[in-house]
Amino acid sequence: MFWYTAFRRSFYATLGSACLALGYAEYALLPESSLVAAMVLVSLVGLYFRESRWAVLSIPAANRLGALVGVLTLFWAAWRMGREWTQPQLLNTDWSLLLVALLGPLTMVLLPAKLLRRDKHVGDYWWLHGLALAAATLAAAMTEDVFGFVFLLLYVTLAVSNLRLLHVAHRIGWLPPLPGQPFHRVRYMMTTPSIRWGVAHGLLLVIAALFLALPLYLLTPRSPIPPATFGKPRIEIGYAADQMLDLTQTGYLHSNRTPLFEVTVQRPDGSPGQLSPEQRWRGRELRLYNSGRWEAGNTRLPTIVPSTQTFLPWQSPQLGPQQLLLTFHLRPGNRSFFLADPVAWRANQPTPIVSLQQGRPPLPWQWLGDGTFYADLEEAERFPYQQYWHPADLPDLSPPFVIVEPDPAPLLRALTQNPLPRLQEYADDLIRQWIRTGRLPADLIDPVLQRPRRQYHGQLARLLCEYLRSEAGLQYTTNLRITRSDLDPIEDFLFHSQAGHCERFASALVLLLRSQGIPAQLILGCKGWEPLDQPGRYLVRHEHAHAWVECLLEEFQPPLRPGMRPVSRWLSLDPTPSADPSVSPPGNYWLQRTHREVQQWLRDYLVEFTPEQQRQAWIVLRSYLGWLAPWIGVALGMALAGSTLYRLWQHRRRPATPPSRQPCAELLACLKPLGIVPLPGETMAAWAERITARMLQDNCLAPYADLPLTWVHTYYAERFGGRSFSIEHWTALRQRLQDLSHQLRQQPAITANSPTS
């Protein structure tokens, strides 16, 4: 009958969707789990079509099979842990979390093993639902992808609809009760519903549950403990102050919207100031490169003049008519300082950066002699700090300075080391091509040093930067990959994968500049900002993290006086191309952008819903509810009225014929007084033949002797033959069954000497 077919279909679909969600979630961590999920799905499909047509395994045999499958899975888990111990691959996964992940294949293989039982009662179905729920819960703990959440939503919808049908099947006697418990007494018969009845009602229940759960989710305090991390380290767009930069990492680069710092901008008159949307925030310098990894190193740069002065008591410097005051507030846990780039200072002026301490005068930062400033991190990170800043006329250049050391080459050696000879060949070929085409002067190369002359360093640096950004055929992507693992990541980036993010673009430019004798270093910081609720206040998040390049132009200008060294300046270069849609493939850009936006939304409001995001969500929700509340009330009222009218209309159209119910349970309950119960392993047809033979022995029951076989054959034709009988046909059979039941109650002597077999 349709009811039982719908129940079985949704039941197997529920188990399959749970396996699908778990196999997808564990693919990155345990690829074998996806193979197990595929095998289990094939087994479920086979069991769906064969389970009801032939007896599979007895209960002891099914238990032995389940034990064997469990033991094999445990052996595989032990082997997998042993391999992880000897050849670590999941360095970011704790052993306890790996053990939890290894439960996934065991949970999935137990599903078909349990389904192979021949006689399943209602408890077995609940047990299987519990296994599916365990698989879905494990998948929910591990998935971070939008498709994983789609699979979980599919499981929830199917599970809710099947649990509704499971209740109906149990109440009307389709499923045997738990051992030792009687069958439910059947009082009603079920009509054949619409084919979308189960899924539609399940989806409605899921929507109602989500509607009720949303306020509870927003009200629940967020835990300060970060979520557990399964599998490979999660690569984020973020600023890491205490770690080296590793270009060997691969995978999708996730966005991190955690706030990094706030900055307030004021003009000298106290009015709010404005910042450029492309404003850079300088964090730290990385100077040592080796095998795809950048480190800060402990090298000292040359001493420069002019320098700032430390006046006590400190007074604010005078940097120019467009001077701005920037007040920085670091978020808790931030282990780095940020400054507006380029940092502005003036000769013989006070230090432009001070720390603000409660109850004390401002504490100026220390001038280190090389154009940088220092503050004690342990003492200063608890207080805000201020930077007096002046937007430069040339925003890519630092203030001019003169190097004090007569020969700064030893101090600059760390900034000219290039460990990749192939990059020097690459740059040499470009330079020769540009000289031939006139983009570089013919006397660029010093015939003695065989390197570009210093007066052309700025022109060459800008040309290399523009080449990487727009002419080299390189693409910006957040899906990091390495095509040739035997090569350095920068070589693979330039010659093979030709796609990467800002760190790879900046690293390539640094090494290309160094290959031509131009001192260069990698700068990590941030770029951009978000406006806050007050004018002049800006928020910078981890997702604003950026990397760019600084190169030293030692002969930017001629000496100011005879006998002095030339004037030098630091030149900032950003080789990262724009992520503008116009440079993306037109065919699938819309799909990729939609996927990224949905993925980011799920991550922000589900996977990593921070306390700050919770507060912001409530602010937005309250602003919308102010004018949406009346419309929501009207919509709910109309929905309630429409539902009431629809139910009244359905009630008037409902036929007087009582709905159908599961036939065999009803037949068994009616003929139970005869004392002839089905034997173990006996089919309903064989039992009906024995009942018929017994009824033919009694004159009062003989007129009804054909009823059991007719009933069972009708059920078989509907259940297995694909035929459909009308409600009138079943009503006529049930009328005869009620007459027979009345006959048995009126003449108890009929059953007094009934045989038992």
Under the banding of pLDDT at 50, 70 and 90, the label for residue 155 is: very high
Token pair in block for residue 356: 């603000």
Return d(Cα 195, Cα 728) in angstroms, integer. Answer: 21
- For residues 63-76, give the mean pLDDT: 77
Three-state SS at 475? strand
Token pair in block for residue 293: 């990894």
- For residues 616-636, give the mean pLDDT: 74
Distances (CA, A) of 662 to 4, 5, 76, 729: 8, 12, 44, 14
Q: What b/e string do you get for 199-216 counting C-beta neighbours within 10 Å, with b at 16 or more? A: beebbebbeeeeeeeeee
Report the C-alpha dihedral over residues 528, 533, 536, 539, rounded to 10 degrees: -30
In this predicted model, which residue has the larger pLDDT, 732 or 265? Answer: 265
Token pair in block for residue 13: 């679909």
CB-neighbour burial class of residue 452 (10 A; exposed 0-12, middle 13-18, buried 19+): buried
**Is omega for the bond preceding 306 within 30 degrees of 0, making it cis?**
yes
Say if CB 327 and CB 439 are below 8 A apart: no
* CA-CA-CA-CA torsion sign (308, 311, 314, 316): negative
Query: Is residue 621 pLDDT above 60, yes or no?
Result: yes
Of 83-92, 249-258, 317-326, 518-527, give the range with the top mean pLDDT. 518-527
Token pair in block for residue 605: 């409001």
Under the banding of pLDDT at 50, 70 and 90, the label for residue 584 is: very low
pLDDT for residue 353:
92
- For residues 143-166, give the mean pLDDT: 85
pLDDT for residue 61:
73
- For residues 194-210, give the mean pLDDT: 63
pLDDT for residue 397:
92
- For residues 249-271, give the mean pLDDT: 85
Lowest mean pLDDT among 200-204, 270-274, 453-457: 200-204
Beta bridge partners of 133: none
Query: Is residue 693 pLDDT above 80, yes or no?
Result: yes
Token pair in block for residue 197: 């009845």
CB-neighbour burial class of residue 176 (10 A; exposed 0-12, middle 13-18, buried 19+): middle
pLDDT digits (tens, 9 = 90+) for 99-143: 777 888 888 888 887 787 766 788 888 989 999 999 998 888 887
Query: Is residue 463 pLDDT above 90, yes or no?
Result: yes
Mean residue pLDDT of the chain comes to 80
Residue pointed to by tokens 């004798």: 517
CB proximity list for 65: less than 8 A, separation 6 or greater: 57, 113, 116
**DSSP state letters, 150-180:** HHHHHHHHHHHHHHHHHHHHHHTTSS--STT
pLDDT for residue 450:
87
Residue 276 C-alpha from the chain's centroid: 32
Return d(Cα 267, Cα 578) in angstroms, integer. Answer: 31
Say if CB 48 and CB 12 are below 8 A apart: yes
Under the banding of pLDDT at 50, 70 and 90, the label for residue 659 is: very low
Residue among 619, 721, 712, 618 nearest 666 (CA): 712
Label the pairing between strands 373-374 and 366-367. antiparallel
Return d(Cα 658, Cα 732) in angstroms, integer. Answer: 12
Return d(Cα 538, Cα 264) in angstroms, integer. Answer: 6
Lowest mean pLDDT among 74-88, 167-181, 190-204, 274-288: 190-204
Lowest mean pLDDT among 352-361, 598-607, 649-658: 649-658
Query: Is residue 236 pLDDT above 50, yes or no?
Result: yes
For the chain, the straight-line distance linking the first and the last C-alpha, in angstroms and rounded, comes to 29
HSE-CB of 37 using CA atoms within 13 angstroms: 25
Query: Is residue 724 pLDDT above 90, yes or no?
Result: no
pLDDT for residue 379:
57
pLDDT exceeding 90 applies to what percent of the chain?
26
- Domain ranges for the chain: 2-184+192-219, 245-577, 609-653, 663-752
pLDDT for residue 207:
76
Return d(Cα 192, Cα 660) in angstroms, integer. Answer: 7
- For residues 285-293, give the mean pLDDT: 91
What angle is formed at CA 74 by the lines to CA 71 and CA 80, rounded to 5 degrees?
A: 145
Residue pointed to by tokens 């102050």: 241
Query: Is residue 382 pLDDT above 50, yes or no?
Result: yes
pLDDT for residue 741:
83
pLDDT for residue 607:
62
Query: Is residue 435 pLDDT above 60, yes or no?
Result: yes
Distances (CA, A) of 562 to 23, 476, 559: 74, 47, 7
Under the banding of pLDDT at 50, 70 and 90, the label for residue 755 is: very low
pLDDT for residue 378:
58
Assign 3-state DSSP to the chain and report helix, strand, coil percentages, each to 5. 50, 15, 35
Three-state SS at 29? coil
Under the banding of pLDDT at 50, 70 and 90, the label for residue 187 is: very low
Return d(Cα 311, Cα 181) in angstroms, integer. Answer: 91
Return d(Cα 26, Cα 32) in angstroms, integer. Answer: 9
- For residues 148-166, give the mean pLDDT: 87
pLDDT for residue 189:
45
pLDDT for residue 266:
94
Lowest mean pLDDT among 176-190, 292-306, 688-702, 739-753: 176-190
pLDDT digits (tens, 9 = 90+) for 494-534: 999 999 999 999 999 999 999 999 999 999 999 999 998 88
Return d(Cα 169, Cα 497) in angstroms, integer. Answer: 57
pLDDT for residue 121:
80
Whole-angstrom Cα Rg for the chain: 38
* CA-CA-CA-CA torsion sign (140, 144, 148, 150): positive
Query: Is residue 538 pLDDT above 60, yes or no?
Result: yes
Under the banding of pLDDT at 50, 70 and 90, the label for residue 71 is: confident
Q: In what order do the strands lie in the sheet with 401-403?
A: 304-305, 401-403, 567-573, 545-557, 520-527, 280-286, 339-341
Return d(Cα 756, Cα 44) in angstroms, integer. Answer: 39
HSE-CB of 488 using CA atoms within 13 angstroms: 19
Of 26-40, 647-661, 741-755, give the range with the top mean pLDDT. 26-40
